[in-house]
Amino acid sequence: MFSVKRMASLAGGIMLAAALAGGSWAGWAQSAQPDAATGLPVIHTEHGPNSEAARKAHYVVLVSLDGFRWDYTKKYGAEHLLALGKQGVWAPEGMLPSYPSLTFPNHYAIVTGLYPEHNGLVANAFLDEEREAEGKLARYAISDAKAVTDGSFYAGVPLWSLAEKQGMRTACLFWPGSEAEIAGERPAEYLKFDDKGVDEEKRIAQVEAWLKAPEATRPHFITLYYSDVDHAGHSYGPDAAETKAAVVKLDGLIGKLKARLDGLRLPIDLIVVSDHGMVKIQQTVTLDAFADLNNFETTGPLLYGKTEADRAAAYEKLKKASSAFEAYRRKHVPAGLHYDENPREGDPVIVPTGPYAIRAHAPAAGKPDNGPVGQHGFDPRKMPEMKASFFAVGPDLVHGKTVAPFENVNLYPWIAHILGLTAPKSDGSLNVLAGTLRDGGETTKE
Ligand SMILES: [Zn+2]
Ligand SMILES: [Zn+2]
One domain, residues 252 and 290: no
Q: Cα(101) to centroid of ligand 1, in Å? A: 8
For every residue of 277-291, which 3-state class applies, written as one string?
CCEECCEEEEHHHCC
One domain, residues 97 and 40: yes
Q: Cα(241) to centroid of ligand 1, in Å? A: 19
Single-letter amino acid code for the residue at 221: F
Considering its fold, how many domains does the chain have in total?
2
One domain, residues 257 and 291: no
pLDDT in tens, 262-313: 999 999 999 999 999 999 999 999 999 999 999 999 999 999 999 999 999 9
Backbone angles phi, psi at 401, to 5 degrees: -105, 135
94 within 8 A of 71, measured Cβ to Cβ: yes
Q: Cα(230) to centroid of ligand 1, in Å? A: 6
Among 308, 206, 331, 311, CA closest to 257 = 206
Question: Which one of 371, 393, 421 terminates a domain?
Answer: 371
Query: What is the CA angle 193-113-131, rounded to 5?
Result: 65
Q: Cα(372) to centroid of ligand 2, in Å? A: 10
One domain, residues 360 and 398: no
- Domain harbouring 173, CATH code: 3.40.720.10
Query: In the prediction, which pLDDT does 46 show?
Result: 84
Q: Cα(292) to centroid of ligand 1, in Å? A: 32
Cβ atoms within 10 Å of 344's Cβ, excluding its own: 23
One domain, residues 268 and 415: yes
Q: Is residue 288 part of a domain?
A: yes
Distance (Å, whole) CA 162 – CA 279: 35
Q: Cα(107) to centroid of ligand 1, in Å? A: 8
One domain, residues 209 and 273: yes
Per-10-residue mean pLDDT of the chain, 446 residues long, equals 32 35 41 91 94 98 98 98 97 98 98 98 98 97 96 98 98 98 98 96 98 98 98 98 98 98 98 98 97 96 97 98 98 98 98 98 91 97 98 98 98 98 98 97 67
Q: Cα(82) to centroid of ligand 2, in Å? A: 23
One domain, residues 348 and 428: no
Q: Cα(326) to centroid of ligand 1, in Å? A: 24
Question: Which one of 371, 396, 415 terminates a domain?
Answer: 371
Q: Cα(102) to centroid of ligand 1, in Å? A: 6
One domain, residues 341 and 407: no
Q: Is residue 71 part of a domain?
A: yes
One domain, residues 19 and 152: yes
From residue 265, how far is each of 51, 84, 400 by CA, in Å? 21, 17, 21
Nearest ligand, CA of residue 376? 2
Distance (Å, whole) CA 376 – CA 274: 12
One domain, residues 266 and 301: no
Q: Cα(211) to centroid of ligand 1, in Å? A: 27
Question: What is residue 388's three-state secondary structure?
Answer: strand
Q: Is residue 211 part of a domain?
A: yes
Cβ atoms within 10 Å of 252's Cβ, excluding its own: 13
One domain, residues 221 and 333: no
- Domain harbouring 334, CATH code: 3.30.1360.180
User: What is the residue range of 32's domain?
Assistant: 4-280+383-436
